[in-house]
Structure formats: C-alpha cells, structure tokens
Homo-oligomer: A and B are copies of this chain.
Amino acid sequence: MLRIGMIGLGNMGSAHADTLARGEVEGGVLAAVCDADAAKLDRARERYGDRVKRYADAEEMMASGEIDGVVIATPHYDHPTLAIRAFARGLHVLVEKPAGVYTKQVREMNEAAAKAGTVFAIMYNQRTNPLYRKLRDLVESGELGEIRRTNWIITDWYRPQSYYDSGTWRATWEGEGGGVLINQCPHQLDLWHWTTLMKPKRLRAFCHFGKYRNIEVEDEVTAYVEYENGGTGVFIATTAEAPGTNRFEVTGTRGKVVIEDGKMSFRRLRVSEPEFNATCRGLFDKPECWKVEVPVEPGGGPQHKGILQNWTDAALKGTPLLAPGEDGIHGLMLSNAMLLSTWTDDWVEFPIDEDRFLRELEARIAESRRRREQGVKA
C-alpha cells in the first residue's frame, strides 16, 4: 500500500485526490492533503472525511510519517522545490507537468531524485494515449524507418481573455514563467520527442508575446528544429485560434504517420525511400506506398489515472515507469529553447545554456506585470 500525500488542491490536485479517494488506484491510498488555502482544506474534509489528514504546510506533511509519496500539483515554479524536499525525506514523487519553469531547477530536481533513489514520475498522461503509444511503437520498432521530418500543429488550446483574467498569476513571467508553451503544450512537447525518439541539435523559434491576448507571455509560437540525425521538425502553437488544429505528422524513410482528430493514418513504403531512390531509373517514379490500417485501442487510454497507477505500481512492485520524472526536462528544454531563441533572435544549440535562459527569464520576472500590480519591488 502506498500512502499518498497530495500537495495542492487546485483543479488537478483535487481531481487526483478524488481519483485516489474513490479507490480507483490499486494499492494507492489518499493519506493526506496539503494546501495553504483553508477553504480548500475544509472542502477536503467534506469530501474525504477525517481519515485523510490535512496540512497547511507541505513540510509538515512530508515530515509526518503518514505518507510514502507525494503528488505535487502546485503552481509550476514550486514543482522542483517541493520535489527536492520530498526526495530529501525519502519520499516517492509524482510531479504534475511542467517539471518546472527552467531547466536549471529541473536538473537539480533530477539530481535529488537520483540521490534519493525513490520512484519519481511526471504526470505525462498523454503517454497513456494508445495513439501516441502506437506511434512510438512504430518508430521504436523501425517500421517508420529513420525519421526525417516531424510537424506538429497544435493550435486547439483555445483560451479566451477571460481565462487569463481569472488569476493575477496567469500568463505572467512571475506567476507562470511562460504562456502556451509552459501551460498548455507540455504534453505535446513531451510527445514530440518521446514518440519520435528524435534528439534536437539546434532550434530557431518565433514566439509572439501578448499578440492576441492581453498577457505578457507567449500566445503564438512557431519553432523549427534540426535533429542530430539531420532530420527537421516544426512545432506551431497558439491559444488564440478557433477552430484550432491538432495534427502531428511524422515522416520516416519507410513511411508517414499522421495523427489528427483522434485518428492515426499510416502509409508505408514497400521498400524504403533511400533504397528505392538508389535503384529507380524512371524520372518520375515513386516508391510503392501502402495505406495500412494499424489496430489502435479505441479511446484515450487511462490518462491521469493510468499515470497514478503506474507510479504506485512502480513504488510497490518495481513496475517500469511510463513517464519517469527525469524525462520532464526534455520537453521543458524545448520550451525554454523556443523562448531563448526568440529573445536572442538567434539559434539555440542543445543542450541549452541554462544560466543564460535563467538570466533572461529573471529579467522578465523583474518587469512582470504581476510584480508591478502587487507592488513587489523588482
């Protein structure tokens, strides 16, 4: 049995606590919850009764001896800080996405995890989606050949101004540390590399800040990446488009997969493109291409519950993790790189210059609207 403490009872934390309280995670028990907001703790008592301990302070909960692991569902900036403290106490950790706001703090979190040796996972629930699992399977097994081009248009994260106006921390450098990249796109940024196994070499991005919404962070992004193997990729995101697009295309030397509207299309070459090219004699010949129907389990998969279960199983039975916490840094580095490339109007090489990114971010935090509105001295 894994006794779980929930840190943060916002939208996601409450949902995860509910899942645990309903007994939907085998072996996982909601043992305690923690939030600085007394009203949220009152609501927790109403929902979960006195059996679930309540804490206003995370440190106190972690020191209580009542829990074996924590789920961290606080604002982004606090994810690494809290995780590091949990690791110091030998607790298992499941952190909500994003892993953090800048890779420097996430690297420290990963180091703390390695030192602790406890089970560390991240809530990349889209990794349970059969569509993306199948794509990764096709890539990993070589069915797509060597990947040459990726393209994700993810513009269906529509958010009206009223969304941004609902919290002074929203879409500010101080409160969130970014916009569509840090808040809406962590799943796609993770899946982009997780499904394709592609390693970025350098990136050039074009972010627009407060273009379509009255916010200080990015609400439109176009990024171009060059991978270590010479392949290229494009990533396009915005929160201001309706109806948006969610279309992920991956082309390899053996064919092409497109995931769009919850469906996968797979076209496969009979012989690989380089092989065809090497032997072809006609001027306008093309490789024979098959339209393949790949069986993909219907539905979106177990999602959040699946990650909670997998993390619990990993802690109790050593089950391999679907979303190791250490993986969080990859998507975040892409996100940081896109901002840095825009700020410097230049290429960003991988791994990124973490100190430089942090300096640039801190300069923006110092000027952040939220700071100004709250009268905080920069």
Contacts and interface: CB of A to CB of B under 8 A. Distances in A.
Interface of A: 148-149, 151, 153, 155, 158-163, 166, 204, 206, 208, 211-213, 220, 222, 224, 226, 230, 232, 234, 236, 238, 240-243, 245, 249, 251, 255-256, 258, 267, 269, 273, 276-278, 280-287, 289
Contacts of A155: 149, 251
The prevalent SS among residues of A at the interface is: mixed
Given A161-B277, A206-B204, A251-B155, A236 B238 contact: no
A329 to B, nearest CB: 26
A9 to B, nearest CB: 18
B162 A242 contact: no
A228 to B, nearest CB: 15
A183 to B, nearest CB: 13
Contacts of A243: 255-256, 267, 269, 286, 289
Contact of A206 (B224, B256, B287): B224
A158 B211 CA distance: 38
A158 B286 CA distance: 7
Give the top 3 A-B pairs by smallest Cβ distance, nearest first: A160-B280, A163-B283, A243-B289
B242 A276 contact: yes
A192 to B, nearest CB: 16
Contacts of A245: 249, 251, 256, 258
Contacts of A286: 158, 242-243
Contact of A241 (B148, B162, B258): B148
Nearest to A281: B162
A231 to B, nearest CB: 10
Given A155-B251, A249-B153, A240 B160 contact: no
Contact of A151 (B224, B236, B256, B278): B236
A214 to B, nearest CB: 10
Given A241-B149, A245-B249, A251-B155, A160 B224 contact: no
A136 to B, nearest CB: 21
Contacts of A148: 212, 240-241
Interface centre among A161, A240, A242, A282 (most CB of B within 10 A): A242
B284 A163 contact: yes
Contacts of A289: 242-243
B242 A222 contact: no
Contact of A242 (B151, B211, B234, B273): B273
20 contacts: A149-B155, A149-B236, A151-B153, A151-B236, A159-B284, A160-B280, A161-B280, A162-B280, A162-B285, A166-B283, A208-B232, A222-B224, A224-B224, A242-B269, A242-B286, A242-B289, A243-B255, A243-B267, A243-B286, A243-B289
Contact of A232 (B206, B213, B267, B284): B206
Contacts of A256: 241, 243, 245
A293 to B, nearest CB: 15
Given A204-B204, A206-B232, A238 B162 contact: no
A162 B276 CA distance: 11
Contact of A149 (B158, B224, B238, B277): B238
A336 B337 CA distance: 28
A283 B280 CA distance: 56
B241 A273 contact: yes
Nearest to A233: B222
Contacts of A211: 230
B230 A160 contact: no
